[in-house]
Amino acid sequence: MEKIIFFIFLYLPFALNAHPKCDLPARTPTKIVTMPVEHIVVIMQENHSFDNYFGKLNAPEFYGKAIDGLKPEMKSKSLDSKAVHPYHETDFCVHDAAHDWNAEHIGWNFGQNDNFIEMNGETQAMGYYTDKELPYYYALANQFAVADRYFSPSLAPTYPNRFFLYTGTAFGHIKNDSAPQEKKYSQKTIFDELNEKNISWKYYSEEKGAYIKHFKSLWENSKAKMVPMTEYAADLKLGTLPQVVFLESREDQGDEHPPADIRIGQEWVSGQIQLLTDSTAWKTSALFFTYDENGGFFDHVPPPEACIPDQIKPARSSKDVPGKFDRYGLRVPFVAISPFAKHHYVSHKVYDHTSILKFIEQKFGLPALSARDANADGLLDMFDFKHPEFKVATLPKTSRSPASASCKKK
């Protein structure tokens, strides 16, 4: 039996929220929530934990004690058993840290969250950025609604966590394993649900189809909805933005996946958000900005238990550590950007990527794809639909800079 240790009161005044009840099964009908949102936009970047990017939102000029961020005494064990504390990282392009199934479970260490250096072999896992390196992201989080209990769906790498975003489950996957061209995944996605209800959607990406091209029904029936990023600006200008929009940046460059220069990704994200806020669609939009998983970077909040999405067990080999899909992964940054988002607000409710699914399902009355999204919190705490604020304060400008000397290929 797993030895589960939760330091619930270690960093008061914050304590872990109880995990959601898991009594609702897949295909549970979702009650429609009336809202003035007509366009739901999702941007998911790569591989950064909440503490790595947003840990210093607890500075007085931002949220102060209202948000659960970093403290100097936090630490992780090093290879020589000495404690390594969080430190200010100034390198814009660090090495890619270990973040596979085994590494994520080792870092988590049954709730102690103290083995991040052991799993990576170097101290960079304890680095964090501030508004000096991420001025746009800090200003964005400070203006709109941010969540400090938003977890990745599983202690696993990119693909399983993104599969949760698309299907409500990892359907057994614990690795970044792509479907062979001749045998694409048959798992039902949120896009299939949208198709059945004649709800418009597009997946705009720098690379054709990006992650959803691995799903059979979408590849066969919805290629026309997997479009180049250039069409996003065109659709905004024409006033033809679909009801549901996913935006995908370029791999190894704009996605911020180490060792990519994070300034390039910040510039890309700011550009897409400004296109929206400058358009007529802004007054009826809600944009969710987050990261797929923590990428091996330290986060001090132990992920709580989560609803097992389905009966498909993790496809572990004899070399993989024990585990189920019954626990969230580490926290990742999350910001709700909308005229209806509560301004300068921190939500402490427990969310994961299936909360985005739940928001979409609440808007359109779609059934849940799995038990995970059926029982997920649908992000409504972050919104005030009766008192919108359409004006967007001026956000810092970003600029694309050459990658630093430490950049290497993954």
Helix 230-238 / helix 262-277 crossing angle, nearest 10 deg: 20
Residue 17 pLDDT more than 70?
no
Q: Span 385-400, mean pLDDT?
A: 87
Confidence of residue 16 (pLDDT cuts 50, 70, 90): low
Domain 39-54+130-382, CATH 3.90.320.10 — does that match?
no
Cα separation values, 100 from 47, 119, 244, 254, Å: 11, 10, 30, 22
Prior bond to 13 cis, omega within 30? yes
The confidence score (pLDDT) of residue 314 equals 97
- The pLDDT tens digits for 23-64 are 999 999 999 999 999 999 999 999 999 999 999 999 999 999
Residue 15 pLDDT more than 90?
no
Q: What is the pTM of this model?
A: 0.94
Evaluate whether 201 touches 245 at the Cβ level (below 8 Å). yes
Evaluate whether 36 touches 340 at the Cβ level (below 8 Å). yes
State how far the Cα of 297 lies from the Cα of 332, in Å rounded to an integer.
10
Q: Count CA within 13 A, CB hemisphere, residue 101.
A: 21
- Contacting residues for 214 by C-beta, under 8 A, at least 6 apart: 178, 179, 184, 185
The helix or strand, by DSSP H or E, that contains position 373, with its residue range, turns out to be helix 371-374
State how far the Cα of 410 lies from the Cα of 400, in Å rounded to an integer.
21
Q: Count CA within 13 A, CB hemisphere, residue 67.
A: 28
Confidence of residue 117 (pLDDT cuts 50, 70, 90): confident
**Phi and psi at residue 397, to the nearest 5°:** -75, 150
